[in-house]
Amino acid sequence: MSTAQTPAPWGTSRMGPYEATATAPQFTAVLDPGTQVAMVIDDSGRMAGMGGHGTSTSGLTPTQTTPGDGSGPGGANDSDATESYDQDESG
Annotate 26-76 with three-state secondary structure: CEEEEECCCCCCEEEEECCCCECCCCCCCEEEEEEEEEEECCCCCCCCCCC
**pTM of model > 0.75:** no
Calpha distance 60→64 (Å, rounded): 13
**Residue-level pLDDT at 91:** 47
**41 has a pLDDT exceeding 60:** yes
Instruction: Compute the mean pLDDT over every residue in the chain, rounded to the nearest whole number.
Output: 74
The Cβ-side half-sphere exposure at 77, using a 13 Å CA radius, reads 7
